[in-house]
Amino acid sequence: PRLYVAADLAAGVRLPLDRAQANYLLNVLRRGPDDPVLVFNGRDGEWRAHLAQTGRKGADLHVAAQTRPQPAPADIHYLFAPLKSARLDYLAQKAVEMGAGTIRPVITRYTQGDRINMDRLRANTIEAAEQCGILAIPDCPEPERLPKILTELAPERLLVFCDEDASVRDPVRALAAAADPQAPPPLAVLVGPEGGFSAEERALIRARPNTVALSLGPRILRADTAAVAVLTLVQAVLGD
């Protein structure tokens, strides 16, 4: 098992587990004293720890040795218009599994409700990081309006704009032409809300230099499907 912990990690550190973590290890996974558990905190790499039961329901982890150093964070920003909560959970998990290092809600004209539970979003990204074996905890900056996000993006960051109206019908070739697969640039991927982008928003996005508008095929995808499709495309063309 791999667990995210907030504490600093070093050999000899003792980590008291909260009730849910102790229950998960002792009762769900049926781990016992001295069983190894991997831990990470998003900063100090991955460490092997050993389980020690404390009392009837509690448990500690004793951190022993580092198993992997902390790698550089993935440099893909996933920019999305908020969806209803169950689909948002799915989207956050899949974006992390597919390599996004920053997950940021974008408020657009047709976004349905601009209130978003950022704690839930962050909890989902941590759970996804635990399960898929990465060591970084994705960054989840606060939601921001589309025009501001566009001005805040660094000019060298290639913006991959998922646009169902894009005339580009070969997204693989378009992406490979916009970014050198041997030396991929920092990326941002942008997917719109269920209502799509307005004409003004489309014009604004397309006017940004270093932007490639891609069609993901002739069918209109749900925003959560588009998330997985575009990140798969990015991975296939530009590597992990």
Which positions touch ligand SAM (CB under 6 A)? 162-164, 191-192, 194-197, 215-217, 219-223, 226
Which residue's CB is nearer to ligand SAM, number 60 or number 194? 194
Distance separating alpha carbons of residues 135 and 30, to the nearest angstrom = 24
H-assigned helices in 72-222 = 85-97, 118-132, 146-152, 171-178, 199-207
- Cβ proximity to ligand SAM: between 3 and 81 the closer is 81
The C-alpha R_g of the chain, in whole angstroms, comes to 20
Nearer Cβ to ligand SAM (131/235) = 235
User: What proportions of the chain, in percent to the nearest 5, are helix, strand and coil?
Assistant: 30, 25, 45
Closest to ligand SAM by CB, 105 or 196: 196
- Find the residue with minimal CB distance to ligand SAM: 192
* Minimum CB–partner distance for residue 225 and ligand SAM (Å): 7
The SS3 of residue 160 is: strand
Report CA torsion sign: 162, 168, 173, 175.
negative
**Shortest Cβ distance from residue 128 to ligand SAM (Å)?**
21
Measured from the CB atom, the residue of 15 and 174 that comes closer to ligand SAM is 174
CB of 162 to ligand SAM, least distance (A): 3
State the Cα–Cα distance between residues 73 and 52, nearest whole angstrom: 32
For residue 213, the minimal CB distance to ligand SAM (Å) is 8
Tell me how far, at minimum, the Cβ of 192 lies from ligand SAM, in Å. Answer: 2
Minimal distance, residue 106 CB to ligand SAM, in Å: 11
DSSP 187-225: EEEEE--TT---HHHHHHHHHSSSEEEE---SSPPPHHH
